[in-house]
Structure 1
């Protein structure tokens, strides 16, 4: 039995007339009659009662019609789904976000992608440092990353999508908390909470360089891996920190964000992926992001 036999039978059963069914199928009537007869012989069941005036379905024929329709609908749906996957309308895309981008960029992008590409399954990973994202891109854990460049890896390519200034975050009881702005030099002598230098955080090196340009080497009391932990440590009075401006989207009681005066140090935000042609569904996500990013109200993109 082939699928065409089911299509032939459905046409005859719905028309209850071999002539009209043949016209609908664009075939001659005699071969159609032979195919239906062969189907009944294969099944060992009479599906249709024929007379010179009409064709009627038997009880078995009615049930077979219902099942045949279900099978054909499933086959058509499978073909449609395969086509949609092939053109990128359906698929799964995993995206990583660096710590500070987790709290504003991630939800904004997620909302946009779900609205415009509802059949793309999103797998979102927050609080990933640049080295972690590079490893995840290589292993296929993520397909796309929003990270802090530079990325010295020829198997990855990235495009800078924004630059943001660094700001200070201090405990609310700290004398600098009431200031409209501070100089980096004002933090000399303070204990610092920082992203992990061991994990090669890009922001860690930016903080070190900024402090050294201001004439001191920061005394780092705590190194952490997550932005929420860093700000929580500052709120607990364990030190001060320099963070990307977008971190102020994360409001934690006891922590106060203070702009840096003068020529504040900056960090870039980049969109990175493997240096290979993207899958059809990733290509659709990228096209959506290129449109969405300039429209999203991001502190980092001003």
Structure 2
């Protein structure tokens, strides 16, 4: 038995006329009659009663038609789904994100994806440091990583999403919170709350670099992996922090943000993925992301 036998039977059963069924199927009537008889012989039952005037379904034929329709519809639906998945219109997409982008670009991206790719299921892994995101990409645990460069893996492709200015997060009662702007020299004697070091955080390395340019090494009071925890510790008065500007979208009571001079001090946000190994939905998601950012 082949699927064509089921399609032939369905056409005859719905038309109740071999001539019309043959026209519908774009085949000649004699081969159609032969295929239906072959199906009946294989099943060992009569599906149709035939006379010179009419064709009718037997009770076995009525039952078989119901199951035939379900099978053929399921096969057709499977084909449609496979094409949607291949086109990136259906499937699953996992997105990882650094802390500051979790509170800014990520909510807008997820809303836009739900509107433009409603059949793609989206899962989110927020507050991930860049090295952890790259590991997740290589292991195919995530499909798109929103992270801070550099990315030195030749298998990982990146594109710039935006450049974020650096700002200073201070306890609201801090004397420097009354200033309009700050520079790194102003922070020489401060305790810092920093993103986790030991080579695991781009922001941690950047803090060390800009402090060195200002002529000192930062006095790190505590290191954390999550931006939300970092800001919470600043609110508690344990120190100050240098963060990307979108961190200010995380509105925590007791924290004041001030721009860091010069205004050219900033850090890039890129979208990273595994090139040709990425699921088809990745490119469609990147198109949506490009539409959200200047």
Q: TM-score, normalised by structure 1?
A: 0.91
Q: Aligned residue pairs: how many?
A: 294
Q: SS state of the match for residue 260, structure 1? A: strand
Do residues 169 (structure 1) and 166 (structure 2) align? no
CA distance in 2 between partners of 1:190 and 1:97 (Å): 29
Do residues 8 (structure 1) and 2 (structure 2) align? no
Displacement of 1:240 in angstroms is 0.9
Displacement of 1:42 in angstroms is 2.1
Higher mean alpha-carbon deviation, 284-293 vs 248-257, is at 284-293
Do residues 217 (structure 1) and 192 (structure 2) align? no
CA distance in 2 between partners of 1:75 and 1:274 (Å): 32
Alignment check: 8 A CA contact 1:193 1:221 kept: yes
Give a deviation string over 1:246-299, Cα, whole Å, max 9, x none.
1000011111112224445211111222354543222222233233333xxxxx
5+ long unaligned stretches in structure 1? 295-302
Q: What residue is the counterpart of 1:71 in the other structure?
A: 71
CA distance in 2 between partners of 1:2 and 1:104 (Å): 54
Q: What residue is the counterpart of 1:146 in the other structure?
A: 146
CA distance in 2 between partners of 1:3 and 1:38 (Å): 13
Q: What residue is the counterpart of 1:128 in the other structure?
A: 128
Q: What residue is the counterpart of 2:58 in the other structure?
A: 58
Displacement of 1:152 in angstroms is 2.6
Displacement of 1:193 in angstroms is 0.5
Q: What residue is the counterpart of 1:229 in the other structure?
A: 229
Do residues 112 (structure 1) and 135 (structure 2) align? no
Q: What residue is the counterpart of 1:42 in the other structure?
A: 42
CA distance in 2 between partners of 1:253 and 1:23 (Å): 74
Alignment check: 8 A CA contact 1:248 1:257 kept: yes
5+ long unaligned stretches in structure 2? none
Q: SS state of the match for residue 6, structure 1? A: helix
CA distance in 2 between partners of 1:213 and 1:166 (Å): 15
Displacement of 1:87 in angstroms is 2.4
Displacement of 1:67 in angstroms is 1.2
Alignment check: 8 A CA contact 1:206 1:265 kept: no
Q: What residue is the counterpart of 1:300 in the other structure?
A: none
Alignment check: 8 A CA contact 2:96 2:145 kept: yes
- Change in Cα spacing, 1:245 to 1:37, as seen in structure 2 (3 Å) is same
CA distance in 2 between partners of 1:265 and 1:212 (Å): 14
For the aligned residue pairs, the C-alpha RMSD in angstroms reads: 1.8
Give a deviation string over 1:184-208, Cα, whole Å, max 9, x none.
2222211111101124311112222
CA distance in 1 between partners of 2:254 and 2:7 (Å): 70
1:188-207 map, 5 Å: 188-207=188-207
Q: TM-score, normalised by structure 2?
A: 0.93
Higher mean alpha-carbon deviation, 72-81 vs 284-293, is at 284-293
Do residues 293 (structure 1) and 293 (structure 2) align? yes
Displacement of 1:241 in angstroms is 0.9
Displacement of 1:21 in angstroms is 1.3
- Change in Cα spacing, 1:263 to 1:70, as seen in structure 2 (3 Å) is closer
Alignment check: 8 A CA contact 2:172 2:254 kept: yes
Q: SS state of the match for residue 180, structure 2? A: coil
CA distance in 1 between partners of 2:175 and 2:144 (Å): 42
Displacement of 1:231 in angstroms is 0.3
Displacement of 1:173 in angstroms is 1.8
- Change in Cα spacing, 1:285 to 1:263, as seen in structure 2 (3 Å) is closer
Give a deviation string over 1:52-102, Cα, whole Å, max 9, x none.
211122222222111111111011111111222222222222221112111
